[in-house]
Structure 1
């Protein structure tokens, strides 16, 4: 099991770093080709639309097939898309519709990979070590989100955007190779119709108060956070020192995430989910630092504290899913969870401009921070969120209710 986890962690770290190269390469390629913000926004919108369209289907296939097969297929598609992007800009043949298509294909394939990876984890991580493993992956992902764009910026500046896309394609090849070497196997039963299996996944969600309430709270949270993420970028550029300040803030967020993951490695509260919701209450401090005292040092401290709480919560949430959801349904439940996040965030992004224009940036940020606080605090009113205990090596794995077994054929 542990050798499989090391393979997964290595492949994913390389893939996460590669994604940072593509983020930089895409922005530089579009702008230098004369596309501007409008074209870049359209490409990003196509990516989000593909995620929304594919998420639930990705969850079904993650539960139908061996998870690593889905992951390999996803990596293969994303490798091809990244390679074609490199070829597109290497030849100076800027073609916006084709770029939008490639971005959508890549993001859609990623929507199949993520539920499959979630479904795979319980197969390769012993029950008693899930929290540590999730914290380790969160730490690696957080570090990659800082290292990837930094290395990507240097590479793209030196060799051009096609080099960034090429590195990302190579990272998918590394991830695919790691997945092919995984030995874990899931038990899969007969299939039913797509709608039936989607419905069975939703019943897994709705039958647990902590899960249904958590997804509702996360939806509200992501709307508010979508507003915040737009406004704080504007404030950082216009009032806190420009691009260099934005870079320092991103680094502070990465540092906070690393601290949160390290805390999750060390501390193992029995009521892990309750502890996670409590640490998420730190995130409003990050948003409010832009309002008062609105100084760079305060924002940096707020970013460290807030993101430490966010990543600790992420570890707690992922561990709760793996502990409490039958492995045969975990991909579908994960896809429902992913869908609510991607529905809510763009809505918040779209609301940021009109709300700030009407009411002012500081009042909107304050209100959004209050929504973050309420979204997290409200979960402590749900009995399941308060009482859910962390599984141990002696805890029996949960089994699906009989009606779900009948619906999925598992």
Structure 2
């Protein structure tokens, strides 16, 4: 086992996740202070969405064609250059909307290649019996970074300006790139076919497993409803629960819940892990319903902790199930299909939130969406594969191939 490789990847990716929080704050502040307003910021975000839609599946194919860390290094280099260009743009007061949209699209497109490669690389770093713990560790680090990054970014941008936020993000990509370059693990790679043929091969791996195909469609429905909820709860928090301070407390509770869920996943290792994951996801509707009743800040905070603990435990369970049961040479493509369906669904829910709340009222829409969350998760327990998929006991786990195994094609 390459413990040093695992630690390298964890350290590099944590810095990158924290750096992304700096850019999130810096981008909004920079556009607003440059006089762009909501219209410009919306166009920049839309450029990122389009790039994600176009690049995600291709990123999965290349993650399976090449050594995953090669794809990650290339992606980090592109994102480093894009973040540096943003920093220079705003440091020189040379704001250009078209250029900013292009840079945002390039950066997000590169991330669409990085994510499947990162997913394909992770199971190579630990033996099979430690995958759940490794996934829980990454989830804990990511959740903590998503809390710490924007907080640190806000302080930095307030003190030194938006350009400093972009600079920190560029440095974080450099750290991630160096970590990936130092990894010694090697993946076995099969022969290449056409791009469309390899995409179809990845989909066939999904469609022949009822637990994965059902989970993909269930998660799509889930993310549409959650996309609606994520917009409306911000409005409720600001208008009814105490304004910006309430929103901050709730966000902190969500992060705490995520850390709790990851910590539980480190210790609680049921043989039917996937079934346990879908069961814990049934806790998320409690978070949404707390905004409707009792509609008190303390109840919402409690719901956020409980719900997000269940969500992160589910994420660990699903990631581990995919790593255990999908051939390593196809992991990039399978995870890219997963990312794409989730990514398509969430913005759709965001768009629907306004019209639905205007027609039916915020409380009714939140209640209905909470019911959709519950039903989409509960329905998975009707699928035989979801109920019965069993992890090998850690003491009987089949060892993974040694990390030194080289790729078959030399790619």
Q: TM-score range, shorter-chain basis? A: over 0.9
- 2:300 paired with 1:299: yes
Report the equivalent of 1:11. 12
* 1:273/1:317 contact within 8 Å kept: yes
Q: Describe the SS at the equivalent of 2:292.
A: coil
Alpha-carbon shift at residue 115 of structure 1 (Å) = 0.4
Residue 391 of structure 1: CA displacement? 3.6
Judged with a 3 Å threshold, the aligned counterparts in structure 2 of structure 1 residues 391 and 87 are, in CA distance, closer, same or farther, namely: farther
1:178 aligns to what SS in structure 2? helix
Q: Deviations over 1:8-29 (max 9, x none)?
A: 0000000000000000000100
1:40 Cα offset (Å): 1.0
Q: What root-mean-square deviation, in Å, do the aligned CA atoms of Structure 1 and Structure 2 show?
A: 1.4
**1:396 Cα deviation from its structure 2 partner:** 4.2
- Ranges of 4+ aligned residues in structure 1 off by more than 3 Å: 391-399
Partner of 2:222: 221
Aligned to 1:33: 34
* Unaligned segments of structure 2, at least 5 residues: 402-408
Report the Cα distance in structure 2 between the residues aligned to 1:37 and 1:391, rounded to whole angstroms.
51
Check the 8 A contact 1:14/1:171 in 2, yes or no.
yes
**Equivalents in 2 of 1:364, 1:49: separation in Å?**
28
2:127 aligned residue: 126
What TM-score do you get using the length of structure 1 for normalisation? 0.96
Q: Give the C-alpha shift of residue 63 in structure 1.
A: 0.2
Q: Matches of 2:87 and 2:292 in 1, distance apart? A: 42
Distance in 1 of aligned mates of 2:391 and 2:193:
32
The one-character-per-residue Cα deviations of 1:338-368 (angstroms, maximum 9, x if unpaired) are 0000110000000000000000000000000
Q: 2: CA distance between counterparts of 1:321 and 1:116?
A: 14
Shift of 1:188: 1.3
Distance 1:152 1:98 in 2: 23
Partners of 1:46 and 1:104 within 8 A in 2 = yes
2:66 corresponds in structure 1 to 65
Distance 1:360 1:397 in 2: 54
Q: How many residues align?
A: 401
CA distance 1:160–1:390, change in 2 (3 Å): same
1:392 CA displacement: 4.5
What is aligned with 1:93?
Answer: 94
Aligned to 2:404: none
Cα distance in 2 for residues equivalent to 1:253 and 1:18: 20
* Cα deviation code 1:56-111 (max 9, x no counterpart): 00000000000000000000000000000101111111111111111111111001
Q: Give the conservation status (yes or no) of the 8 Å contact 1:325–1:398.
A: no
Cα deviation, 1:237-291, whole Å, max 9, x if unaligned, reads 1111111111111000000000000000010000000000000000000000000
CA separation of 1:208 and 1:397: change in aligned 2, threshold 3 A: farther
- Per the alignment, residue 169 of structure 2 pairs with 168
